[in-house]
Structure 1
Amino acid sequence: MGSGKQVSRSAHIGDAGIALIHQRVSAMDHVWHERTVDAGIDGTIELRDPATGEVSNCHLQVQSKASDNDFPGETADRFHYDCDERDLDYWMKSSMPVLLVCSHPKRGEAWWAHIQSYFADPARRASGRVDFNKITMSLEGDVSDRLFAVADPHGRAHTPVADLRDETLESNLLPVTMPDVFWAYDGAVTLPRKVYDLQRESSLDIRDDFTLFGGRLLTWSPVEDTALAGAVNGDPTIEATGELLDGSPDSERILVRLLNNAFRQDLRDDCAFHGKRHMLYFRATDDLTPRS
């Protein structure tokens, strides 16, 4: 039986990948220009102002990498792509932004990365590897604002479609009133965890509203008859808070720590402090009912 002309499977998959990019670009009302001669760039996206229909003359070069099989390390959330060194050199030399688009055409899935910004990190450049997050790097829906930001990093004006809607602004800013003075004691220990260890030895409530600096324990209120009493030596000196507002870096750090720790103290009935993330969070209620 004679053999007729054929289109290879890889060529067919590659064509399907480009068709998927064309579809996604058109859905965002931009213009796709496919190249007939491919030396590492499959086509360009010309961004179009969605409000006026005017083409912007902002262009993004695109290289498509399509596969019906999983990419290396692919899971439900991520995968990676190892760039050919010659392709990467070619893309990095471009005076226009280059997007690498990896896709599964049969599944209608595509993800993108801006090559020049991604490989601005020397460690990434040395590895030649792009790590894709399937959620944040998906080429689905309208990502026009992100494409404009890549094509025009200096922010020339373009006119997005106005989205008319009512919004309610809720502020989480809190007023801060500082005491006029603070108490400074000679510290019995030099590490905060040691202060907490000493406090646990007492039967009194543990206090968070202190900080250690220069061998001293500083706090907003006296330690007598509190769990902090075992962590200090001798009588305190009472100093003006204004002395911490002189603008020196050390003074500012002390003041910030004192305010933050006082905040932890004030909210300890409802909130706990996450040591690794350095933030306060609302503890679950005892019976796991919703908290308002």
Structure 2
Amino acid sequence: MKRIGRSDIIGQRGMAHIESVVLSMGFMFYPTGGVEAGIDGFIELRDEATGAVGNLLLQVQGKSTERLRLQAETEESFEFPCSEADISYWMQGTAPVLFIVVLPEKGVAYWKSIKAWFSNPDKLKARKIVFDKQADIFSREAKPAILALGLSTTRGATAPSARIQEELIVNLVGVSTARTLYWAPTSFANDKTFGAALRELDSKAGSEWIVRGKAVLSFRNLDAWPWNKLCEAGAMEEFGSDEWSESDDEDRQRDFVALLNRAMSEFVRPALWHDKGSGAFFFPKPKARDKLKYAYKSLKSFVPRDVVKRYGKRRDDPSQAAYWRHSAFRHRFLRLGEHWYAEITPTYHFTREGYKPDPWAGDRLKRIKEFENNAAVMGQFVMWRYFLTHHGAADLYAEGYPFLAFALLEPLGLDVGVPDDLWKSQEANPDSPLFDWEQAEA
């Protein structure tokens, strides 16, 4: 004859107890049934007042026992051991997991959030759950805690990492500078007064200098004109730039970053303009045209991109464009270990008539950031990376910019990754016309 064992009855009593408590909370309980690897059912959160459900689920692993004494039991607590395989299975999932121990004969159950408990390395190493007999009772009174746990879960599914070979592109470029810095005393107290005097002598003089404590520090030779007219050239000293770039002194590091920022402004000229308000560098509008294209090497081939383009019509004058959108980037110099890098953040700049500040620039930027997808950001970074690593380089007709240069960094190899189709499925707008995946992968 077919038989149903006592352990099956005990297990079913445990599930019945769990379902009864869940229903008393006003939530729904769905037993897994059939074959399962470590999840006995699901709790779906429900608004008790309106009956509304929103597909917010918590997984349940139940354990029912008639043992008279539990492991390491005291009047206040007891322990429950877990296998390494079970813990791994519960922790890698996307939903919260409730571990519920039911004592049918006593009509009581206790619960813990698996991920919260085993997020502690020491608890994970011990591979056991310690239940508090007062604080961990699984009853209707536990509803607020379970509701908070369910609502804290990030909405949307996340698949486990795929074991594929992946290359990670970081938004950094390597930085190298001139090997020599020049220092000389000056009668000027700050950058503003020194800069004004310098422009009177030569309006095109470079800006790769800073004034600190009535002394000038510069990538340029201060013994040459027009610098020698504003400095005590006879007292000039030469230093290796590494005395600043490799120094652990915070003041020297700040001074070196200030020099790098000034050199960046000179490096990108005349191809880019600088917006002092946002700190962004952007492609300017050509004088005789309404748009500008820039060709660069993407991940596989050369592609053109609209970097300046007009949009809309002005209400007060329909013959004029409402605004121009300019591709732009902001940057930040940082030292990682013994090396310097520039962190590049793609963005946009907006103008009226191609050069005047657009009073609605902030709103336009907010809307476009909501609209663009991951490939758009990646594509813009690849474009700016190409610009920085090729602009100002020496060729047959001109010498390269001598004070600052940028280098391409090799992608980081990973043994795990996320397939591109999965990335695209999570995009707010995977079909954004700002930039498409085919162009990014070209």
TM-score by length of 2: 0.34
Q: Does 1:129 align with 2:132?
A: no
Partner in structure 2 of residue 58 of structure 1: 56
Between the aligned partners of 1:54 and 1:71, the Cα distance in structure 2 is: 39
> Residues 159-191 of structure 1, C-alpha deviation per residue, up to 9 Å, x if partnerless?
xxxxxxxxxxxxxxxxxxxxxxxxxxxxxxxxx
CA shift in 2, pair 1:39/1:116, >3 Å: same
2:99 corresponds to: 100
Report the Cα distance in structure 2 between the residues aligned to 1:114 and 1:83, rounded to whole angstroms: 14
Superposition map of 1:101-116 within 5 A:
101-116=100-115
Q: Measure, in 2, the Cα distance between the counterparts of 1:97 and 1:78.
A: 23
Matches for 1:121-270 after TM superposition, within 5 Å:
121-153=120-152
Separation in 2 of the partners of 1:75 and 1:32? 31
Q: What RMSD over aligned residues (CA atoms) do the two structures have, in Å? A: 1.6
Measure, in 2, the Cα distance between the counterparts of 1:141 and 1:125.
29
In structure 1, the gaps of 5 or more residues are 157-292
| Alpha carbons of structure 1 residues 41 and 154: separation in structure 2 relative to 1, 3 Å | closer
Q: Could you say if the C-alpha distance between residues 155 and 144 of structure 1 is closer, same or farther in structure 2, counting changes exceeding 3 Å?
A: farther
Distance across 1 between alignment mates of 2:116 and 2:11: 25
Report the counterpart of residue 440 of structure 2 in structure 1. Answer: none
Matches within 5 A, 1:79-98: 79-98=78-97
Q: Structure 2: give runs of 5+ residues left out of the alignment.
A: 156-442
CA–CA distance in structure 2, aligned partners of residues 62 and 83 of structure 1? 15
Q: 2:23 aligns with which of 9, 23, 26?
A: 26
What per-residue deviation string (whole Å, max 9, x for no partner) do you get for residues 60-97 of structure 1? 10000110013202233210100111111100111000
The letter of the residue matching 1:148 is L
- Partners of 2:96 and 2:153 within 8 A in 1: no
Contact 2:56 2:150 in 1 (8 A): yes
CA contact (8 A) 1:49 1:56 kept: no
1:290 corresponds to = none
Q: Provide the residue aligned with 2:340 in structure 1.
A: none
The aligned length equals 153
- Is residue 149–residue 155 contact of structure 1 (8 Å, CA) maintained in 2? no
Paired amino acid for 2:25: M
Say whether the 8 Å CA contact 2:95–2:153 is kept in structure 1: no
Percent identical among aligned pairs is 35
C-alpha contact (below 8 Å) 2:64/2:103 kept by paired residues:
yes
Structure 2 CA distance for aligned equivalents of residues 20 and 56 of structure 1: 24
Structure 2 vs 1, CA of residues 31 and 154 (structure 1 numbering), >3 Å: closer, same or farther? Answer: closer
SS of match in other structure, 2:147 = helix
* Distance across 2 between alignment mates of 1:76 and 1:117: 24
Aligned to 2:9: 12
Task: Please list the CA deviations of residues 218-246 of structure 1 after superposition, one character each: whole Å capped at 9, or x if unmatched.
Answer: xxxxxxxxxxxxxxxxxxxxxxxxxxxxx
Secondary structure class of the residue paired with 1:110: strand
Amino acid at match of 1:116: K
Q: Give the Cα separation in 2 of the matches to 1:123 and 1:10.
A: 32
Could you say which structure has the larger radius of gyration?
2
Which secondary structure state, in structure 2, belongs to the residue aligned with residue 45 of structure 1? strand
Q: For 1:59, what is the secondary structure of its paired residue?
A: strand
Q: What's the TM-score once normalised by structure 1's chain length?
A: 0.50
Question: 1:181-226 deviations in whole A, cap 9, x for unaligned?
Answer: xxxxxxxxxxxxxxxxxxxxxxxxxxxxxxxxxxxxxxxxxxxxxx
Give the match's secondary structure for 2:74.
coil
* Residue of structure 1 equivalent to 2:71: 72
